[in-house]
Amino acid sequence: MNKEDLKEKFKSLEDSLRVCFSNKDLLIQAFIHRSFLNENPEFPLGNNERLEFLGDAVLEHIVTEVLFKENPERSEGELTSWRAALVNAKILSEKAKELGFNSYLLLSAGEIKEEGKARQYILANTFESFIGSLYLDQGMEICRNFISENLLVELPRIIKEKLFKDAKSKFQEEAQEKRGITPAYNVLEEWGPDHEKTFIVGVFLNEKLVAKGKGYSKQEAEEKAAEKALEIKNW
């Protein structure tokens, strides 16, 4: 499928999301996985990884700002936990699925067959890359509206079902309370093809390695590292 055909296809996504991109290339690029370009090296657009990087920052900024303004009575620890629950891979992939992103992913033939966690993380990353493209094309206010309508609406459910009590959030809360330190996560090793990458992530307190975690995404490895760190620290 060439770029012009894709623009026509993506028009239905714009209609369903009630957004209209000035730069259609930005919208398409948000859905281009690296594996697609391995099989289509002549395709005129790059992959979505830079957009994902930007979207991750925009997403965190907006969620942080809204939580801060709308919950003046809540502590930093609570807000941190809520934010982590809102922007984790599980929630983002669920929202991406609900919004129909699965039908627009541009993947290699091998990656198309992959389901389960591999697809979950691709969808979560695509949600972030879409936010990056929306920000570049439409600006912060449109992003804020989109995130409020499609992601922040999940907060009451997250609080009610206590979905914010994941290991990474709990370790951060404990570290801030007991040591006054915010944990840092760094990728120590990674290997494997794009659709089956494995990561080893270390969690650090003041540059001191506390624990390592292994996973098929950075998020999963971070969560595993946090689980081990809670055990090691007996928190």
**What residue numbers does the annotated binding site for Mg(2+) cover?**
52, 125, 128
Do residues 52 and 129 make contact, with C-beta atoms less than 8 angstroms apart? yes
71, 157, 209 from 63: Cα distances, Å? 12, 16, 29
State yes or no: is 128 an active-site residue: yes
CA distance 168 to 147: 23
Residue with tokens 């969808």: 123
Q: How far apart are CA 214 and CA 132, in angstroms?
A: 28
Determine which one of 39, 42, 56, 115 is catalytic: 56
Of the residues 128, 137, 166, 227, which is catalytic? 128
Spatial CA neighbour of 150 closest among 129, 132, 131, 165:
131
Output b/e per residue, 77-95; b: 16+ Cβ within 10 A: ebbbbbbbbbbbbebbbbb
Of 89, 71, 93, give the one whose Cα is nearest residue 80: 71
Instruction: Tell me the catalytic residues.
Output: 56, 128
